[in-house]
Amino acid sequence: MASAAPSTETDDEPTEETALETARRQLERAAEHLDVDPGVIERLRHPNQVHRVSVPLERDDGSTAVYTGYRAQHDSVRGPYKGGLRFHPDVTEDECIGLSMWMTWKCAVMDIPFGGGKGGIVVNPKDLSTDEKERLTRRFAEELRPFIGPTKDIPAPDMGTDAQTMAWFMDAYSMQEGETQAGVVTGKPPVVGGSKGRDTAPGRSVAIIAREAIDYHGWDIEDTTVAVQGFGSVGAPAARLLDDYGATVVAVSDVNGAIYDPDGLDTHDVPTHEEEPEAVMKYDAPQKLSNEELLELDVDVLIPAAIGNVLTAENANDVQASLIVEGANGPTTSAAGEVFEQRDIPVVPDILANAGGVTVSYFEWLQDLNHRSWSLERVHDELESEMLSAWDAVREQVEENDVTWRDAAYMVALKRVAAAHEHRGLWP
């Protein structure tokens, strides 16, 4: 007999998969197609280490608050751990573990010699003054200092943290080590060892991958229409570069809604999130739409580049795009992914498309270790070449196994990580 007890979860309201569940499911899916030692898969289901620290902070009013911080380190078989640090009230240990696994695959699909890490502090940064954020960041750096370092684990900015946070983190770490160690974090301001081109790199990689996918499907980019959800660090450079490549970007959006011009928008004229936050709707365009309507526009390419879980079982059948390139992390739920597979709509996954960010972080780390900065032109050239290599590897996997682009990307990544494990072995 059905219970009358109130419940927030019912059978017809599917519960959202956690980041860890998604990461494990994707690992198992990729493993099904490959001949990989089950012992290696079992090892990859678990993080190598998870560090949990208490971070005490003296508030501006003189009181003391204690926050919880995490650093999950999934796998380092191919090199030091790499991944963001977020300051967000919803940070959990499991989320850090799941996201650290994603970073392992993202680095491996790009063939970057890093493993996956992710961490953060359970805090709403909007509740802190700038001075409080600085003290919290410096103390977090000190609590994590035994576990991180330029050859061990290299954090980066994520939700609620930015280039300034990374500069404080690097400074605190370096002061305790007795020497400047710029390579301990990436995403720093260029004056303290950051890389040129880091800010726009995830959007640039989305555009490069979209361009390759357009070409792969035999379309002429000059005749291709594109809609981009989100006009921030990822969406804006992606839209502008595709515009420069010759595509017609008919719609872009921010949190308030979308602008639409069937003849194409002048994307360089629409203010990005950084230039003027949430100003897309102020732009004079023939039509204003909702974000939901943007996702269902009849375009060739749809680029969700704002937030996760926007393509769901509810709207997947209404999507009219012929190709989806994921700019945001996790914009497609697994249920929507199944619908797109049945409908033959290719979805090029986040771990490939937006991996320009971690790739230029790798360039930043190389520049720091070598004490030599690269020109913007060199960053762009090397990013282009890394993205094309990764695209080719994933395309070959798609062609060889007739699998989805997502499965192919995970297969490429898993093959590389598993081969490294098999060569290094399990000791003792």
Residues annotated as part of the active site: 118
229 in contact with ligand NAD (CB under 6 A) = yes
Alpha-carbon distance of 24 to 317, in angstroms, equals 26
SS3 assignment, position 233: coil
Q: Is 418 in the site for ligand NAD (CB under 6 A)?
A: no
Neighbours of 252 (CB within 10 A): 31
Among 120, 194, 202, 349, binds ligand NAD (CB under 6 A): 202
Q: Contacting ligand NAD (CB under 6 A), which of 20, 328, 360, 383? A: 328
Which one among 69, 232, 337, 346 touches ligand NAD, defined by CB under 6 A? 232
Residue 119 CA to residue 124 CA, distance in Å, equals 15
Q: Provide, rounded to whole angstroms, the least separation between the CB of residue 234 and ligand NAD.
A: 4
Contact 388, 212 (CB under 8 A): yes
Q: Is 307 in the site for ligand NAD (CB under 6 A)?
A: yes
Which CB atom, from 73 or from 354, has the smaller least distance to ligand NAD?
354
Nearest-CB residue for ligand NAD: 232
Integer Cα distance of 191 and 189 in angstroms: 6
Give yes or no for a contact between 242 and 226, defined as CB atoms under 8 angstroms apart: yes
Rounded Cα distance, 322 and 340, in Å: 10
- String of contacts with ligand NAD for each residue 334-373, x by CB under 6 A: --------------------x--x----------------
Q: Which CB, 132 or 162, lies closer to ligand NAD? A: 162
Q: Which stretch binds ligand NAD (CB under 6 A): 29-37, 39-47, 123-131, 322-330?
A: 322-330
Alpha helix (H) residue ranges in 372-404: 376-401
- Binding ligand NAD by CB under 6 A: which of 224, 233, 367, 404? 233
Q: Does a cis peptide bond (omega within 30 degrees of 0) precede residue 146? A: no
Supply the angle between the helices 93-109 and 405-424 in degrees, to the nearest 10. 90
Q: Which of residues 242-281 bind ligand NAD (CB under 6 A)?
A: 253-255, 273, 278
Cβ atoms within 10 Å of 231's Cβ, excluding its own: 32
Neighbours of 28 (CB within 10 A): 12
Please tell me the count of residues contacting ligand NAD according to CB under 6 A. 23
Contact between 78 and ligand NAD per CB under 6 A = no
Residues that bind ligand NAD (CB under 6 A): 202, 229-235, 253-255, 273, 278, 291, 305-308, 327-329, 354, 357
